[in-house]
Amino acid sequence: MNESISLSVGQNLKRIRKELNLKQYAITGGKITRNLISLIENDKTPLYEDNAKIIAETMNIALEEKKLDIIIEPEDILNPARYDAKKRADEYIEELKNFLDEKNFEIKEEKLEEIERFLNHWNLSDKKATIYELIGDLCYYKHDLDNEYKYLTRALDYSFIYPQKKDVYKIVLKLVANYINTGKYEEAIRLGNFGLGSQKEMTDRSKGLFYYNIGLAYSHLKRPDNCLEQVNMAKKYIKNVNDNVAIRIMILEGNSFTKKKEYDKALEAYAHALEMLRDHQNDYEGLYLVYINSIEVFINQKNHSKVTEYLDLIMNVFPHLTKMPHYITNAYLDVSDAYSFLKKYDSCEKYLKIALKSAKNKNEKELQSRILLKMFDFYTERDEDEKVDYVMRELTEYISNIPKDDKTALSAKLILYYLKDKDEEKAKKLAQKIINKGGNV
């Protein structure tokens, strides 16, 4: 950018002040005079760093009062080229926002590299926080959870440099969701509690979202009592029944009661959620969650007719779920489980295969491993050796892409040692121990 080539420091101060719609008297901070500001802007006296700090601090107070998310640093005033760089960063920010608005989540690698080079050249921490958060959002929508985590973590790091930044908790909330989506439930709980205590100026809805997400993490850890505590807290902050988060809270409550085997309470919560959904006719995700969670209750109650009825309801919303990439793989897997309960094994296998294809296409590693294990059990129970071989090929390809750790290597080597030593019984016991423990030795 060439705007600043002919600008002096004084002219740059005047440019910044006018662009921010601030009067000369409004940037004195009560420590310097309006006359001095005028002299500086007209290049009749130099601007020293101490005065630049006073002006920048005063500008930031005025901008905060106007509720503008803009931060001015002394270097922005003293270095016209740096201020130009900030304006270029704003152009990148608008470009990324447009990508999100247009649902164009596939940002080109060349564009990403261009932005990275720019950010590496200029030490613009406030802009880096915003840009990295937006890139993280793009990664979320294309289900690139590893890169979402990378960019959101960067955004959070740069946000902490500016204590006056009011919405850091929004980045924390996104990271909590990322931890849940990647199976890091303990980390989600710790970060969620940190987020709740880190900033006082947080909306009630955001507080409710934190409690909801912490509850969701507890639910995944099969700790329903802890989950219900968080649900009750979330309800205190999100009371509007027209808020779709309120619906999710009711569904989570029902899920917790299911885990406690209190099925009547679970179905009551789902019925309440369904009633709330009458005013959200296009919330197909919400409908799916109510139906599939209800099916879990009916399976536990061995109620075949209700499972069949609710499977039909799910099939009605399936065409809309395909537009929601974050749920569709789980939906295929859930439907497969329901068909397995009904002993409709052809349909069960069909949806297992569809789920595997979906997980591979979206690089959902945790789901991929769950699906492969389900397929392995499904085929071995039916002695379908050829199909077991197919699953083993898929598993081999999947395992080859998993970073090896010492425990995994030790487990594999011990099994190979016992097999080589013709001690198949020890090899079987070790393998069974690993399976039962859900991990390595």
In terms of phi and psi (left: phi > 0; alpha: psi -120 to 50; beta: otherwise), the region of 28 is alpha
Q: Which amino acid is at 75?
A: E
| Residue 219: alpha-carbon gap to chain centroid | 17
Per the structure, the count of domains in the chain is 3
Residue 111 lies in a domain: no
Q: Could you list the pLDDT tens digit for every one of the 441 residues in the chain?
A: 455 557 999 999 999 999 999 999 999 988 999 999 999 999 999 999 999 999 999 999 999 888 888 889 999 999 999 999 999 999 999 999 999 999 888 888 999 999 999 999 998 988 999 999 999 999 998 888 899 999 999 999 998 887 666 788 999 999 999 999 888 999 999 999 999 987 677 889 999 999 999 999 999 999 999 999 999 999 999 988 778 899 999 999 999 999 999 999 999 999 999 999 988 878 899 999 999 999 999 999 999 999 999 999 999 998 888 776 677 888 999 999 999 999 999 999 999 999 999 988 887 877 888 888 888 888 888 888 788 777 777 766 666 565 555 555 555 655 565 566 656 666 566 566 655 655 444
Residue 47 lies in a domain: yes
Residue 356 lies in a domain: no
Q: How far is CA 127 from CA 5, 35, 169, 278, in A?
A: 22, 32, 17, 42
Which tokens sit at 114?
């261009």
Residue 45 lies in a domain: yes
Measured over the CA atoms of residue 245, residue 246, residue 250 and residue 253, the dihedral's sign is positive
Q: What gap in Å lies between CA 246 and CA 277, rounded to an integer?
A: 10
Query: Among the three residues 41, 57, 75, which one is the final residue of a domain in this structure?
Result: 75
**Phi, psi angles (nearest 5°) of residue 338:** -65, -40
Residue 275 lies in a domain: yes
Predicted pLDDT at 322: 72
Can you list the positions of beta strands (E) in 134-220?
none
Predicted pLDDT at 440: 45
Reported pTM: 0.83
Residue 55 lies in a domain: yes
Query: Among the three residues 295, 323, 351, which one is the final residue of a domain in this structure?
Result: 323
Which of 270, 280, 213 shows the shortest CA–CA distance to 240?
280
Q: Which amino acid is at 178?
A: N
CATH number for the domain that contains residue 14: 1.10.260.40
Residue 145 lies in a domain: no
Predicted pLDDT at 416: 61
Residue 250 lies in a domain: yes
Q: What gap in Å lies between CA 178 and CA 185, rounded to an integer?
A: 10
- Secondary structure (3-state) at 149: helix
**Phi, psi angles (nearest 5°) of residue 144:** -100, 80
Query: Among the three residues 75, 91, 108, which one is the final residue of a domain in this structure?
Result: 75
Residues near 429 by Cβ (< 8 Å), separated by ≥ 6? none
User: Domain of 273?
Assistant: 241-323
Q: Where do we find the tokens 């890091």? A: 184
CATH number for the domain that contains residue 318: 1.25.40
